[in-house]
């Protein structure tokens, strides 16, 4: 499996980290920790640095895990307003510290560089 599933370079922090306010989606399941650990063990045990298939699968699972945690966050934010139509969830940039906003921007750039390294 290659890296064709990955999102385009134009992906923003807002989209990748599913900024609030956002409606939660049904059917989000997180991959099991055991499945992730097993793939990590395979990758860390290899002498070769070119197992693109396992690397791609691990990234896919980690990003499914990310989507599941962020979907849960959307659900928690909605529950916190208890359906009151006089309340609304402030947007993520208002909720987080500037240094956390900086971390997520930097991680998205590192992700792109990592893909370039794997494809190169």
Q: What is the CA radius of gyration of the chain?
A: 17
* Residue 110 · residue 40 · CB < 8 Å: no
Task: Work out whether 7 is an interface residue with other proteins (CB under 8 A).
Answer: no
Q: Which is nearer to other proteins, 8 or 71 (CB)?
A: 71
Site for other proteins in 61-100 (CB under 8 A): 61-63, 65-66, 69-70, 72-73, 76-77, 79-90, 92, 94-97, 99-100
81's enclosing H/E stretch is helix 52-81
Q: Which is nearer to other proteins, 7 or 62 (CB)?
A: 62
Interface pick for other proteins out of 25, 38, 51, 53 (rule CB under 8 A): 51
Phi-psi region of 6 (alpha: psi -120 to 50; beta: other; left: phi over 0): beta
Under DSSP, the state recorded for 77 is H
How many C-beta neighbours within 10 Å does residue 71 have? 20
Map tokens 């992906």 to a residue. Answer: 11
Which residue ranges make up the site for other proteins (CB under 8 A)?
17, 20, 36, 40, 43-44, 46, 48-51, 54-55, 58-59, 61-63, 65-66, 69-70, 72-73, 76-77, 79-90, 92, 94-97, 99-100, 103-104, 106-107, 109-111, 113-114, 117-118
């Amino acid at each position: 499996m290659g890296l064709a599933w990955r999102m385009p370079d134009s992906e923003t922090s807002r989209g990748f980290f599913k900024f609030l306010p956002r409606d939660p989606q049904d059917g989000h399941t997180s991959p099991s920790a055991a499945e992730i650990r097993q793939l990590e063990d395979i990758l860390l045990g290899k002498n070769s640095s070119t197992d693109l298939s396992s690397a791609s699968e691990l990234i896919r699972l980690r990003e499914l895990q990310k989507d599941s945690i962020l979907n849960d966050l959307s659900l928690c934010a909605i529950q916190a307003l208890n359906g009151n139509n006089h309340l609304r969830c402030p947007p993520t940039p208002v909720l987080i510290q500037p240094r956390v906003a900086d971390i997520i921007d930097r991680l998205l750039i590192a992700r792109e560089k990592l893909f370039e390294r794997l494809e190169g």
